[in-house]
Amino acid sequence: MKKSTVKKLLVVMLTFAMVFAMAACGGGGGGDEGSTDAAGGFTIFNSKSEIQGAFEELAKQYTEETGVPVEVYMSQDTVAAHLATKYASKDPYTLNMVDPKDIYSLGVQYGLDMSGMDWISDTTRAIEVDGKVLGYPTCVEGRGIIYNGTAIKNITGKDFDPASIKTLDDFTAICEELKKGGMEAPVGILKDDWSLAAHYLAQAIEEREDVDGYVASLKAGEAKIIDDPKFNSLMDTFDVLMKYNAFAANASSVEREQVEQMLSEGQIAFMFGGNWDFALMKDFDYTGGAGMMAVPQKEEDAYTGKLLGGGSKYFYIDASEGTTPEEQQMAKDFLEWLRTSEAGQTFISDTCGMVSPFASNTIPVNDDLGAAIKTYADADMLIPNYLYFPDDHISVMGAKMQEYLGGKCTREDLAAAYDAYWQANK
Amino acid sequence: MNRNTFSYKLKQVLMFAGPGTILFFCVVVVPFVYGLYLTFTSWDGVSPNKPFVGFENYVAAFQDSAYWIALGRTAIYSIFAVVFINVLAFALAYLVTSGVKGQNFFRAGFFVPNLIGGIVLGYIWKFVFNRAYVALASAIAGGQVASPLSTTGGAMFCLIFVSVWQYAGYMMLIYVAGFMSVSDSLKEAAMIDGCTPSQAMRNVTIPLMRSSFVQCIFLSITRCFVVYDVNLSLTKGEPFGTSVMAAMHVYNTAFTYKKYGLGQAEALILFLVCAIVGVTQVVIGKKGEVEA
C-alpha cells in the first residue's frame, strides 16, 4: 500500500471516529433514566419520588418470585412533560404511574383498556373513561385539618376528640383555649400555591351535589362565587385560620418545612393539609398523636365531618406501538400481584404507609395520617376530588389566594378573580 | 501533494470543522427549526397529533398579558442586575489588580459563587433571607419581622442581589484581564503628562478596556434575560406570582399549562428580544473601540 493511501485512509477513519464519538455524546444525553428496555421484561415509571427505593426493592423481589425482569424509573421532571419526551422518542414505559387527571389525557391517548381484570371488583376507585377502564388506583389520599393531639392534650389536659370540633365556633373555642394555655398562635398555614388553590379553594367547588353544573354556571358567568354560601363558609374558616396563624408576619413566604416542623413538634396544633404531610412531619422531633379532621365550618351540612379525598396516583398500561402485547400482559400480571400478594400489600400499607384502595388489603397502615384517612375512607366519609380543574388553576388562583393570605386583597377581589378565571376557561 | 485542489480542501474542512458542524447542526439548528415549526401547531406537549394552526400562537402570545408583564419585569430586573453586576465586577477587578496583599486569594474567593449552580445558590439565599435574616432581625427588633421574600419589591431585590452576587465574580475575571492588558507604560506616560490617577483611569485605562465592557455587558444582559434557575429556587414566582420572569412564564405555559405551541412562540419572542438587545449593545460598544 502506498504511503499516501494509508494517510488518506487514516484521515477518513479519524473523521468518522470523531463524528461517531460526538454523535454518541449527543445521543447519550437523554436524561437521568438511561435505557428503558428491560431485556425480556417490562418497565415501570414511578412518580412518587419518596417510595423509589422501596419500589426498586419490590421489583427485585418480584423478579425473584416470578423470573420477570422489572425496571423502575423515576424522574424529577413534571410527569406529563417527562412522559411526553418518552413518547416523542418512541420509548415509552410499559406501566406508568400518573396523577388522576393525567389518566384523562395520557391514559385516554395511550392507555390499555383493563376491563375484565380481577382488581376492578375489589375497589370503587378505578378510573373509567368512555366504557374503558384505564386507571388502576395505587393509593387513597385525603385532605383536611391535621391536628397534633399530643400538643393539645399537653395544654387542655384531656384527650383530644376530633369529633368534638364540628363547627367553626367549636374550632375557635379550642384555639382560644390553646392560646390561653400558652400556645400563642395554634395554627399554621402553608403558603404553597398547590395547597391554597388545589386543596383549600378547590373545596368550594367540590363540596356540593352538582359540581359539574356549578362549574358550568361559573364558566357561563351565570353564577357569582361571592354569592355562594359554601365559598363564604370556607373563607370564614380561612379567616379564622389566618387569625391564629403562627406565621402571620411571614404568611406569604414561610416555608413548608417550618410549618410542618412546628406542627410535628407540637408548637402549633392545627394545619390544613393531607396525609402526604406525614412524610415530612416524621423527619422532625415528632410528638406523636397526629390525626386528621374535617375543615370546621359555620353551619353543619351534609359535608360536616368529612374529608376530601380519593384515589391518588394511578397506573395505566401503555398500549402504543412502543409496547408489545407480551409486555402489556406482564404489566397486568404485576398489577394483580401488587394487589393480592402479601409482598405487594405490605409494600403499599406498611413499607410506604399508603392507604390501599383495595378492600382485600387488610394490612394496617404504617403512618398516623394515612391510618386516619383509612378510617374516613372505610366509613365512606371522603368527598370526591374534582379532577377537571384546568392546568393553570394552581398557579393563577394559588397566586390570588396568596394575596388574600398576605392581606393584599379582599374576599370580594378573590371572588371576582375566581369568576374571571372560570369565564376565561370556557 | 497538491494542497490547492478542491478535494484536499474539502477533506481538511471535513476533518477539522466537520464534527463540530454536525454537532452544532444536531443540537442547535435542528431543534431551533423544529421549535419554529411547533410554534405553528397547537401541540399540548404530549399528544402524538400536532394540529397546524398557522399564526394563532403568535396572536395568542401578543394577547397574553401575563407574558408581557413578565417580560417587562425581566427587563427591569435585567437593567438593575446588569448595572450592579458590572459596577461591582469592575470595582472588584480594580481592587484585585491594584497590588493588595493576597490578591490571588481574593480573585478566587470572589469567583467562587459562580461555581455554585443557580439552583443551589437560590436555596442557600432563600434560607438566608427567610430564616437567618428573619431570626436575626426579629431578635434585634423584637417581634416578628417579615422576610424580604414576602413582599413584591423585596422578592425582586433578592433576585437582583443574588444575581449580582453570582455573576460579579465571573465578570470580575474578564475585567481583570482587561486591566492587565493595558500596558503600565501608557498609564505612566499619562501620569508624567500631568494626569491624576483618576484622570488616567478615566482617559486611558477605561477606553482601552472597552472590549471587556462590551463582553461583560453582553454576557450579563443575555444571562439576565433568560434567568430561570435562581428564579425557580429563590422565589418560584412568589409572592402572588409577582416575581415570575419571562423564562419561567414560558416554561409554565409550555409544560404546566400544556400549551406547548404557545410557550414555544413566547420563547421565540424572548429569544428575539434578547438577541436584539444583545447585538445592539455589542454593535454600539464595538464602534468606539480603541487600540493602543
Of the pLDDT bands very low, low, confident and very high (cuts 50, 70, 90), residue A378 is: confident
- What value does the mean pLDDT take over residues A37-63? 87
Q: State how far the Cα of A362 lies from the Cα of B47, in Å rounded to an integer.
A: 39
- What value does the mean pLDDT take over residues A241-247? 94
Task: Give the ranges where B39-64 is alpha helix by DSSP (H).
Answer: 56-63
Is A203 part of a structural domain of the chain?
A: yes
pLDDT 10s digits, A193-220: 899 999 999 999 999 999 999 999 999 9
For B249, which residue in chain A has the nearest alpha carbon?
Answer: A395
Number of folded domains that form chain A:
2
A285 and A202 in a single domain? The answer is: yes
Q: State how far the Cα of A144 lies from the Cα of B203, in Å rounded to an integer.
A: 69
B172 vs B108, B188, B266, B285, CA distance in Å? Answer: 10, 24, 33, 19
Q: Which of A355, A385, A378 has the alpha carbon at shortest distance from A278?
A: A355
A79 and A221 in a single domain? The answer is: no
Is A350 part of a structural domain of the chain?
A: yes
**pLDDT one digit per residue (tens) for chain B, 292 residues:** 678 889 999 999 999 999 999 999 999 999 999 999 999 999 888 777 889 999 999 999 999 999 999 999 999 999 999 999 999 999 999 999 888 888 889 888 889 888 888 899 999 999 999 999 999 998 998 878 889 998 889 999 999 999 999 999 999 999 999 999 988 899 889 989 988 988 988 888 888 988 899 999 999 999 999 999 999 999 988 888 899 999 999 999 998 888 999 999 999 999 999 999 989 988 888 887 665 5
Cβ contacts of A4 on chain B, cutoff 8 Å: 1
Q: State how far the Cα of B81 lies from the Cα of B164, in Å rounded to an integer.
A: 6
Task: Assess contact for A340 and A358: CB atoms under 8 A.
Answer: no
Q: Which of A258, A316, A276, A4 has the alpha carbon at shortest distance from A137?
A: A316
Is A15 part of a structural domain of the chain?
A: no
A277 and A397 in a single domain? The answer is: yes
Q: Name the residue with cell 394552581.
A: A394
- What value does the mean pLDDT take over residues A363-376? 91
Is A28 part of a structural domain of the chain?
A: no
A278 and A164 in a single domain? The answer is: yes
More confident residue, B150 or A37: B150
Is A96 part of a structural domain of the chain?
A: yes
A298 and A416 in a single domain? The answer is: yes
A174 and A260 in a single domain? The answer is: yes
Task: Examine the pLDDT at A38 and tell me if it is beyond 70.
Answer: no
User: Chain A closest CA to B257's CA: distance in Å?
Assistant: 5
On whether any CB of chain B is under 8 Å from the CB of A14, the answer is yes
Task: Assess contact for A97 and A82: CB atoms under 8 A.
Answer: no
A338 and A210 in a single domain? The answer is: no
- What value does the mean pLDDT take over residues A367-387? 91
Is A222 part of a structural domain of the chain?
A: yes
For A90, which residue in chain B has the nearest alpha carbon?
Answer: B48
Cβ contacts of B237 on chain A, cutoff 8 Å: 395, 399
The answer to which of A128-142, A235-249, B37-51 has the lowest mean pLDDT is: B37-51
Of the pLDDT bands very low, low, confident and very high (cuts 50, 70, 90), residue A85 is: confident
CATH class of B60-287: mainly alpha
Angle at B11 between CA B6 and CA B13, to 5 degrees: 95
pLDDT 10s digits, B84-125: 999 999 999 999 988 888 888 988 888 988 888 889 999 999
- What value does the mean pLDDT take over residues A60-80? 90
A329 vs A8, A121, A159, B241, CA distance in Å? Answer: 54, 19, 51, 46
Nearest-CB residue to A395 (from B14, B44, B252): B252
Of the pLDDT bands very low, low, confident and very high (cuts 50, 70, 90), residue A2 is: low
A183 and A261 in a single domain? The answer is: yes
Task: Assess contact for B15 and A15: CB atoms under 8 A.
Answer: yes
Task: Examine the pLDDT at A26 and tell me if it is beyond 80.
Answer: no
Is A57 part of a structural domain of the chain?
A: yes
How high is the mean pLDDT of chain A? 88
User: Chain A closest CA to B29's CA: distance in Å?
Assistant: 14
Q: Which helix (H) or strand (E) is A325 found in, with range?
A: helix A325-340
The per-residue pLDDT for B27 is 94
Q: State how far the Cα of A148 lies from the Cα of B270, in Å rounded to an integer.
A: 49
Provide the ipTM.
Answer: 0.82
A280 and A335 in a single domain? The answer is: no
Task: Examine the pLDDT at A413 and tell me if it is beyond 90.
Answer: yes
What's the CATH number where A213 sits? 3.40.190.10
User: Chain A closest CA to B137's CA: distance in Å?
Assistant: 13
Q: State how far the Cα of B174 lies from the Cα of B24, in Å rounded to an integer.
A: 26
> What range defines the domain where residue A182 resides?
142-303+387-424
Phi, psi of A96 (to 5 degrees): -120, 125
Q: Name the residue with cell 469567583.
A: B111
A172 and A278 in a single domain? The answer is: yes
Domain extents for chain B? Answer: 60-287
Is A36 part of a structural domain of the chain?
A: no
- What value does the mean pLDDT take over residues A216-234? 94
Amino acid symbol at B168: A
B206 vs A178, B38, B217, CA distance in Å? Answer: 66, 46, 14
